[in-house]
Chains A and B, each alone.
Chain A
Amino acid sequence: MDLDALVMLLSLFVLSLFLGVELITKVPPTLHTPLMSGTNAISGITLVGALIAAGSGAHGTLVNLLGFAAVTLATLNVVGGYLVTNRMLAMFKRK
């Protein structure tokens, strides 16, 4: 990764913060709890980094073990988050 790539990533970060404000302010208060659990599941995207660590072959067992812990926690976050959000939203849909 060079400096230019870093600036690109920083730009993405800043622009996403603004996009986040636009998106989130449109969510009605009625859905704030599912919003929290749903975004929580999204923050489980750390799973991507966790998979690389857990699956690496050349860095010794410590990296794999840390990766295993990360995969477990992030999967819990993703699976638990999406399922519970779905459960709540289904209650709102029902007529």
Chain B
Amino acid sequence: MHPTLVNLVYLAAAVLFILGIKGLARPRTAVQGNLLSAVGMLLAVLVTLLDKQIVRYEYIVAGVLLGSAIGTTMAIKVRMTAMPQMVALLNGFGGGASLAVALAEYVARMGEAPAAMGNPFGPGAVGMVALAAIGLTALIGGVTLTGSLVAFAKLQELLKKDRSLPGGTWANGLVAAVAVLAVAGLVLDPNQGELLLAVTLLALVLGFGLVLPIGGADMPVVIALLNSYSGLAAAMAGFILGNMVLIVAGSLVGTSGLILTRIMCAAMNRSLPNVLFGKMAEGAEAIDADAIYAGKVKSASPEEVAMMLETAKRVMIVPGYGMAMAQAQHAVRELMDTLEARGCEVLFAIHPVAGRMPGHMNVLLAEAEVPYEKLLEMERANPLFEETDVAIVIGANDVTNPMAREDKGSPIYGMPILNVDRAKTVVVIKRSLSPGFAGLPNPLFARDNTYMVFGDGKKAVLDMVAALESAS
């Protein structure tokens, strides 16, 4: 096929990707958007297969069959609670693919022209840019591959401890610096294939070193960042091949990941360097949980809560990942149905870091058939708490801690929270008074208008539903 025609089809594919992401602006158009994007991908692949550079198909067929089989199985089998792990793995595979493309391209071009005939990557600056692109693709792709595998292992709880490699941040800095120097060396002398090998190995080590020390609570940031890297690696591969669809698609993904990274950091009131290299700020002095809780914590039974709910006009449910761990989503939706049948308005307040990745809680609730119109983001939910009769906190902790608003000395001061304490009555469903990820006591539990329901989240909610239904 003529190269001009091929490029025009690539342009069409790029437009379809853009329309696809545009479709995600609304839940109603999102399915169609995703489909457009997939059609774009299919077009790009088909037109590439017609390229005259492709003369043998056995490796392609084998790779496509193997990749499709594993990809389809994963996509069908994955549970919604495990979506962060799945996305982490996919990020890693994308990075690995770009790495392999960079290596293959280097080997192919070196084989094309003997060194004596000048730079096989092109004359002067063009050759240098091509080599820099190969080096950087290998670097970013390698970091994305191992970094994502570590993130997967942490989310899957195969790796439970956060440990840094010897030397910590400094060692990582050193590895990164040497890798960049090796890329520079490759640019200056394309014949030094060992340098590309070194870049690859250093990148793989760096991916481990960067993600191993990062704690489970910060994984949403890490996945978003690795998502960005996988896109940037594809864009860099576009510079190697001089292919515009790789560059456009890759940079769209790169910005997407970066924007989500920023949103996650803002939601935790932490800077990106602090997430990547710092430790969670430790309280200057340990805050005495007993002093806050002593004598002030009231508990209520699910039946007593049901009595409070009987007269409520508006109920706001505040879910956290604990709700998903107790598999209480469907029970919560039953509670919503029961309350609505009694004429009560039920809404959900979703903190950006409520789940384990951006938007995770929304997917978990959508799976339980909670309509998306009821899922309010923090900015929309907070003004409504003052006009809420009962706020039910289930499986969330730190994101409701008033210390973030009131206690300047607290390590979480300044973190945006859901103002649950402003509701007329607050019900917190929790196993015990144990602290959340931040390791802090939560004064919300000791407020005058708060009642604790101790026990399993799913059972507590189902007991409330039963009590409400027997009352009507």
| Number of B positions contacting A (CB below 8 A) | 116
Residues from chain A with a CB closer than 8 A to the CB of B252 are 16, 19-20, 23-24, 39, 42
Instruction: Give the residues in chain A near B251, CB-CB below 8 Å.
Output: 13, 16-17, 20
Q: How far, in angstroms, from A35 to B53 measured CA to CA in the complex?
A: 34
Closest to B78 in A: A84
CB atoms of A32 and B359 under 8 A apart: yes
Q: Which residues of B contact A77 (CB under 8 A)?
A: 67, 71, 90, 93-94, 97
Q: Which of chain B's residues have a CB closer than 8 A to the CB of A27?
A: 21, 24-25
Residues of B near A85 (CB, < 8 A) are 34
CA A77 to CA B34, docked complex, whole Å: 14
A19-B18 in contact given A1-B242, A51-B60, A80-B72 (Cβ < 8 Å): yes
Residue interface mask B185-206, A partner, CB < 8 A = 1 = 0000000000000000000000
Q: Is B416 engaged at the interface, CB distance under 8 Å to the other chain?
A: no
Does B27 interact with chain A (Cβ within 8 Å)? yes
Within 8 Å by CB of A74, from B21, B67, B247, B375, lies B67
Bound CA–CA A89/B23 (angstroms): 11
Partner of B358 from A17, A26, A32, A70 at Cβ < 8 Å: A32
User: Considering the chains assembled together, what is the distance between the CA atoms of A17 and B251 in angstroms?
Assistant: 6
Residues of chain A within 8 A (CB-CB) of B97 are: 44, 46-47, 50, 69-71, 73-74, 77
Q: Is the CB of A52 within 8 A of B51?
A: yes
B101 touches A46 (CB 8 A): yes
CB-CB nearest in chain A for B62: A68
| Complex: chain A residue closest to B44, CB-CB | A48
Q: Which of A31, A42, A72, A76 contacts B27 (CB 8 A)?
A: A31
CA distance A23 to B126 in the complex (A): 32
Tell me if B21 and A73 are in contact (CB < 8 A): no
Binding site secondary structure of chain B:
helix
Chain A residue at smallest Cβ distance from B239: A9
Does A55 lie within 8 Å of B231, measured CB to CB? no
| A40→B103 CA distance, assembly (Å) | 22
Tell me, in angstroms, the Cα distance from A53 to B16 when the chains sit together. 25
Q: Does B20 contact A (CB under 8 A)?
A: yes
Cα separation A25 to B129 with both chains bound (whole Å): 32
Q: Give every chain B residue within 8 A of A42 (Cβ-Cβ).
A: 17, 20-21, 37, 41, 231, 249, 252-253
* Stretch of B256-264, B292-300, B393-401, B444-452 lying at the A interface: B256-264
Chain B residue at minimal CB-CB distance from A69: B100
| Chain A contacts for B103, CB-based, 8 A | 66
Q: What is the predominant secondary structure among interface residues of chain A facing chain B? A: helix
- Which chain B residues (1-35) contact chain A, with CB distance < 8 Å? 17-18, 20-22, 24-28, 30-31, 33-35
Chain B residues, CB < 8 A from A20: 251-256, 259
- Write the B412-452 contact mask toward A (1 if CB under 8 angstroms, else 0): 00000000000000000000000000000000000000000
Q: Which residue of B lies closest to A93 (CB)?
A: B31
Is the beta-carbon distance between A70 and B227 smaller than 8 angstroms?
no
Task: Kindly state the separation between the CA atoms of A62 and B263 in the bound complex, as whole angstroms.
Answer: 42
Closest residue on chain A to residue B66 by CB atoms: A72
Q: How far is it, in angstroms, between the C-alpha of A42 and the C-alpha of B104 when the chains are bound?
A: 21
- On whether A83 and B72 interact (CB within 8 A), knowing A23-B22, A45-B234, A59-B111, the answer reads yes
Partner of B56, one of A57, A69, A71, A90: A57
Interface of B toward A, CB cutoff 8 Å: 17-18, 20-22, 24-28, 30-31, 33-35, 37-38, 41, 44-45, 48-49, 51, 53-57, 59-60, 62-64, 66-68, 70-72, 74-76, 78, 80, 83, 86-87, 90-91, 93-94, 96-98, 100-101, 103-105, 107-108, 111-112, 122, 125-126, 129-130, 223-224, 227, 230-231, 233-235, 237-257, 259-260, 263, 350, 352, 355, 357-360, 362-363, 366-367, 369, 371-372, 375, 377
With A40-B253, A79-B75 given, can you name 12 additional A-B contacts, CB distance below 8 Å? A34-B30, A45-B250, A46-B94, A49-B240, A55-B57, A56-B55, A58-B111, A60-B107, A60-B111, A72-B64, A91-B369, A93-B31
